Amino acid sequence: MQSLLDPAILFFALGVFAGVVRSNLEMPSAISRFLSIYLLMALGLKGGFALAASGFTASVASSLGLAVLLAVVVPLAGFAVLRRMLSGFNAAAVAATYGSVSAVTFVTATQYLEAQHIAYGGYMAAAMALMESPAIILAVLLANALRQQQAAAAHPATVVGVAGSGAALLGAPGLGTAAPHRADHGGQPLSMGKILHESFTDGTQLLLLGAMVIGMATGDAGKAAMQPFSGDLFKGMLCLFLLDMGLATARNLPAVRQQSPWLLAYAVLGPISHATLALGLAWLLQVPAGDAVLLMVLAASASYIAVPAVVRYAIPEAHPSLYVSLSLGVTFPLNIVLGIPVYAQVVERVWGG
């Protein structure tokens, strides 16, 4: 109960309430953008300072390696489940959304751990960056394999004997490899190279990793110089950003009510399953407790910014209202209000026992 009285959580609740009662409270888009840039920059700096102090140890390697493994397993498992409820393209888009991560959920989790005096590695910011892109790339490969399947059904003589990695991802023999390009909404070809470029050079990742490198390079001297910016202001900025996220969540509630009960169940149970998988793997590898909590949070989170921005054009056959409403309207508030403290308590009991 004490975790619900955290100012950041209460400001999120205030934003939801303001949106539900249709208040005219709003956050200017330029300020929202500034807040997101600030949080990513501060988070990257903190991670860099922590890495400068600890170095790249076996514990760091195991945590980051586990993050990459989860980034591949979660979207593939999600696609296998969602394919039973949705069309292939919608299933790929939703699987990408839930296979990627939410930076705001991660930042909120780090603040919770600090408030509870639970140590974690600042390098986990790198884990978050590593987990963002694999799901997008896998979703694009799956979508391209589906298009090959459709083309094979329409023109079987033109694809006989062709097999490739995209078909293997779908588990369907005899399909071609991912198509070299397709047209986006503007009629321009959207190549796999373009998707990879957008995934790996996305501004959020670039800023996060760049700030982390700067933090590593400057070490203790940089930490002392940046403390008023990346330390003292951080909590207040997070509260403002969560207020804005509460307003955004409220705006997505009407779309949530239109979704199938099965999809709503997935938006709740899927993240819990992903977090449980992360818990088991972290326990097997003896990852530090604080890192284990953050891995659970990352595995359970869902992207509502980076993935929709790319998938909207990479998989135009999918419906954006579907994957955005589920991630922002259901999974995000569930993790912010209940998930983070529950994951921390579970890790405390398992690691403490």
28-150+166-175+192-352 — its CATH code?
1.20.1530
pLDDT (tens digit per residue) in 248-305: 888 888 888 888 899 999 999 999 999 999 999 999 999 999 999 999 999 999 988 7
Q: Which of 197, 215, 184 is nearest to 122 (CA)?
A: 215
The structure tokens listed for 111 are 């603040």
Lowest-pLDDT range of 22-26, 27-31, 174-178, 226-230:
174-178
Across the chain, mean pLDDT equals 82
pLDDT for 91: 92
Helix intervals (H) in the chain: 7-20, 29-54, 58-82, 88-99, 103-115, 124-130, 134-154, 165-170, 192-200, 203-226, 234-257, 261-284, 289-300, 306-314, 320-326, 332-334, 340-352
pLDDT (tens digit per residue) in 174-220: 323 333 334 444 444 456 666 666 656 666 667 878 888 899 899 89
pLDDT for 157: 54
Sorted by where each begins, the domain ranges of the chain are 28-150+166-175+192-352
Stated pTM of the model: 0.78
pLDDT (tens digit per residue) in 287-297: 999 999 999 99
The structure tokens listed for 29 are 């888009």
